[in-house]
Structures are given as C-alpha cells and as structure tokens.
Amino acid sequence: TDEWRLSCINKEFSVCPSYPPVVIVPKSIDDEALRKVAMFRHGSRFPVLSYYHKKNGMVMMRSSQPLTGTNGRRCKEDEKLINATLRPGKRGYIIDTRSLNVAQQARAKGGGFEQEVHYPQWRRIHKCIERFNILQESLIKLVEACNDQSHNMDRWLSKLEASNWLTHIKEILTAACLAAQEGASVLVHGTEGTDSTLQVTSLAQIILDPRCRTLRGFESLVVREWLQAGHPFQQRCAQSAYSNSKQKWEAPVFLLFLDCVWQILRQFPCSFEFNEQFLIMLFEHAYASQFGTFLGNNENERSKLKLPQKTMSLWSWVNRSEELSKFQNPLYEANSLVIWPSVAPQSLQLWEGIFLRWNRPSKFLDEAHEEMINIIRYNKELQAKVNALRRQLAEMETDDRMQENL
C-alpha cells in the first residue's frame, strides 16, 4: 500500500535494541519524528506495523507503553504517528494488555498510558494478561498437578483450577479476538511490548489470515512477530518448570501462545496445514535446541553472536521434505474465512500432548493417526481415478458427437 514505507532508522540497532534493522511505518512520518517517538516509548519500542488487512484496510500496530509519567507528558510526534493509521472520520482502538490499575501504577515509575485528551480519536481498552512470576507459578502448579498420579478426580480438578492455566489461555484468546473483530485500526501494547503484546497480535493474525494457518505462513509469523519483534527467548525460556531455582524474567509466554494456537486448531481441525506435533516441536526447541533460531533475546544479540553464520536455522531442517511431512495435517482443507475461536470455559481443554505426554499411551494415538492418513491418501487416489474416468467419458462423448456429425 502507498500509505506505508520501509524505514531503516534502526540500522545497526541504534534506535531500538530490540527491534529489527528495518520496520514498517506510516509513509507520512519521517525518521526524525520516529526518533522522537522512540524516546517517548518504553525501551524505544515506537509503534510499528504488525498486520495490514487488504480487504477492509484494517491496521494492527504494536509498541510498548508511552512514558507519560505522573505529569502526563505527551509527544505530538507519537500522536501524529498513531493518527496517521486512521482513515478519515474513523476511530481506532488501543488495547492495553494490563489492567487499568496496573497501567495507572506504571505512571509512578515513569510509564503510563495514552491520555484521552491527547488521543481523542482512540478508545482505550484494558485486558488483563498476567506477566512473569504469575505465569511461571501457574506453569509450575500445572506441571506438579499433571505429574501427581496419586490424587482422585476431585483433587485433580481442584489442582487444575488452582493453577489458573486455562484462565490465562482464556484471557489471551479474548484479547486476540477483540483485536481481530473491531474492523478498525488497533494499537496493542502492554509494558515492554515483548510478551502479551506479541501473543495478541500473532493470534489475531491467525484468526484473520488463512496464510498464517499454513506451515510456511506460521513459520513466517513466528519469525516476524516473535523473533524479529524482540521476544526475549533467552530470558523467558532459560529454565523449565522442573528447575529448583527461579529466575526473575522467566515466564512461559511462548508456550501460552502455542497452547492458544492448539486450542484454535482443536476447534478448527481442518483449517490448519500443520498438526499438533509441529507446535510441540516448536515448544521443545524454544527451551532446548541444537539450532540457533531461538538463542538470544533479540535480533541485535543474535547478530552480535553471529548466530546466522555459526549455527544452523531450525527452519532449514523443518522445511526438508522428509521432516515437513511429519508436521502436515492430513485433514487440512484451505479455508479463506475468518475463524472465531470459542473462549467459553467448556471449549478450552488441557493440552495433553504437552502436559500429559508422559502419562498417556501414545501407541494407539499414533496407530489411529497413521490409519487416518492411509484412509485420506486412499480417498485421494480414488478421487483422482474418478476424475480420470470422467475425463475419458467426456472425450468419448465428444468423439461420438463428431462421428454423428460426419
């Protein structure tokens, strides 16, 4: 589109250390204005384009919190940048992934949120998505519950509820649906803009864009919205739930995202080109991998460590035909429609493939999956034969008509 441009303002990572060298911004905003906006945003993460919906012109941007502080500091360049995404006479939505109380408390530390008086064309909505230690404690409680096979049904359900894991899933999916359904320009941010922000923007794209539900499209989404967008994998995935020590910045943010994707995949089993094993594989490599893809906290660190030169990419291994076939969903049928996941409590389930992977027998599941693949393959072969016979019949009928005319 003519309304956007590629900016190399972050070349050498000089403006924002957690952004990639090239970002997409409104064409009407020059680089000098971007520098001023960067100084007004936490960690210099100024608003950049995350997704552009071709059909309705909907724009999704992401950033970090504005540094308004207790004095209500403002930045006219920031206001101009955000307003540049709006169509004439339209309003936009700012989805803050913090509760209003948390956002207000952030002002005392120099952070804050967009004031209505300075952003009159935008409506701010707060969706509370938890962070760091709360999420890690939730994961630890869930893993402990799943590993304890001594309790009865009531105790198991009580422990599952106490972990709040499915509650976190619900909150994230709810925020993603909100970002996708407004049909207007949306700006998503929390505090740093590297965790819950990325969960919301990437899940919204899966809901809206069928390309993100393909194997290559999902890989591109992870690269664009997680690796290049600066999710700190090194900090968040430093240790698992089994570790005796606790790290301040550790949190299962990416695992929660993958769990949300699995929930949507389970509700729309024919709309995804990849299967559950693909998501499990990504989870495993995010925590421990022989590849360099998930090492470091951002592109800046990976560049300094020369990981592209010193390590092999996970994608180059996954995309080999012999490996790719393991992750293909045999039920896949391309679906160009928007898919709206249900967030009702009864619609969300525990991801057994991750959390009960050592407790459930996989033999029968593997056999059933193999049988399903064989049935689908046989059906495709029969369909091909039917099509060939129809073509032969059509050719014979054409020949008969020609003979009659002679």
Mean pLDDT over each residue of the chain, to the nearest integer:
92
Counting other chains too, the contacts that 337-340 makes at CB distance below 8 Å and 24 or more residues apart are 337/210, 338/180, 338/207, 338/208, 339/207, 339/213, 339/264, 339/267, 339/268, 339/271, 340/177, 340/181, 340/207
> Same domain for 341 and 384?
no
> Same domain for 229 and 336?
yes
pLDDT of residue 241: 63
CA-to-CA distance for 51 and 205, rounded, in angstroms?
7
Percent of the chain with pLDDT over 70: 96
Mean pLDDT computed over 347-362: 85
Confidence of residue 406 (pLDDT cuts 50, 70, 90): low
pLDDT of residue 188: 97
pLDDT of residue 238: 82
CA-to-CA distance for 228 and 234, rounded, in angstroms?
14
Mean pLDDT computed over 338-355: 95
Tell me: the pLDDT tens digits for 384-395? 899 999 999 888
Mean pLDDT computed over 175-190: 91
DSSP code of residue 344: S
> Same domain for 400 and 274?
no
Query: Of 194-198, 273-277, 381-385, which range is least confident?
Result: 381-385
In this model, does residue 117 exceed pLDDT 90? yes
> Same domain for 147 and 93?
yes
In this model, does residue 403 exceed pLDDT 80? no
In this model, does residue 98 exceed pLDDT 80? yes
Tell me: the pLDDT tens digits for 36-73? 999 999 999 999 999 998 877 889 999 999 999 999 99
Mean pLDDT computed over 397-403: 79
pLDDT of residue 397: 82
> Same domain for 24 and 111?
yes
Query: Of 122-126, 134-138, 144-148, 303-307, which range is least confident?
Result: 144-148
Range of the domain at 392: 365-406
Mean pLDDT computed over 321-340: 92
> Same domain for 327 and 370?
no
CA-to-CA distance for 264 and 191, rounded, in angstroms?
27
Confidence of residue 360 (pLDDT cuts 50, 70, 90): low
> Same domain for 287 and 377?
no
Confidence of residue 286 (pLDDT cuts 50, 70, 90): very high
Phi and psi (nearest 5°) for 84?
-65, -15
In this model, does residue 104 exceed pLDDT 70? yes
Mean pLDDT computed over 139-161: 88
> Same domain for 41 and 58?
yes
Confidence of residue 245 (pLDDT cuts 50, 70, 90): low
> Same domain for 355 and 373?
no
Query: Of 172-176, 181-185, 228-232, 248-252, which range is least confident?
Result: 181-185
CA-to-CA distance for 45 and 62, rounded, in angstroms?
9
Mean pLDDT computed over 191-199: 97
**Tokens for 299?**
């592109």
> Same domain for 338 and 375?
no
Tell me: the pLDDT tens digits for 74-88? 999 999 999 999 888
Mean pLDDT computed over 99-118: 94
Tell me: the pLDDT tens digits for 254-271? 999 999 999 999 999 999
Q: What is the pTM of this model?
A: 0.90
Q: How many domains does one find in the chain?
A: 2
In this model, does residue 182 exceed pLDDT 70? no
> Same domain for 319 and 392?
no
Of residues 303 and 183, more confidently modeled: 303
Which of 256, 251, 247 shows the shortest CA–CA distance to 136?
Answer: 251
> Same domain for 255 and 396?
no
pLDDT of residue 233: 95
